[in-house]
Amino acid sequence: MSFNLGNLGNLGNVLQQYLGGANPNVNPAQAENDFDQVTQSVPRATVAQGVTQALRSEQTPPFAQMVSHLFSNGNPDQRAGMLNQLLANIGPSVLSSVAGGALGNLMGADQARVTPEQANQVSSDQVQELAAKAEQQNPGVVERMGDFYAEHPTLVKAIGGAALAIALGHMAQGMQRH
């Protein structure tokens, strides 16, 4: 079933300006405000799809770089959640090869989840390396990170106005298709 975004009232008007890609006339602060408004009104799956597409876009920095940036802007619980998502998508051998094995040492062999305290001991550079290896080993990690970030829309705003505009454009397309 398809519908016109105009049927959504003000939300439809907001999303309409992002259809067809990033709108160069939208400033980053406006994209942040629009993202706030949209994420409060659309299904989480729609947000996840939009964020995932921004993480994959050729118009944004590489996936690993964006994950690293979001990690550096996250609180300890969000950082632990990001690491747990990444770690769930790679094998133990990859973990021991990242950052000279530092992450493997931090985690320990018998521990299943990273704690917020442990996450605070990980650098954003280590996260970037981990995210790059995770994406190489399992490209589906991008969707899982998009799902994770959909639960933390305030954190997502740290990816910047251009990436938010791309996410909003994909959310608009998703809303138009449903």
Q: What is the pLDDT along the chain (178 residues), one digit of tens a residue?
A: 334 455 556 777 788 888 765 555 678 888 899 999 999 989 999 999 999 999 999 999 999 999 999 999 999 999 999 999 998 888 667 777 776 676 666 665 555 688 999 999 999 999 999 999 999 999 999 999 999 999 999 999 999 988 999 999 999 888 777 6
Tell me, what's the pLDDT at 1?
Answer: 34
Tell me, what's the pLDDT at 70?
Answer: 98
| Dihedral angle, C-alpha 110, 112, 115, 117, nearest 10 ° | 30
Number of domains in the chain: 1
Boundaries of domain holding 29? 5-177
Residue 23 CA to residue 2 CA, distance in Å, equals: 23
> Residue written as tokens 């190489």?
136
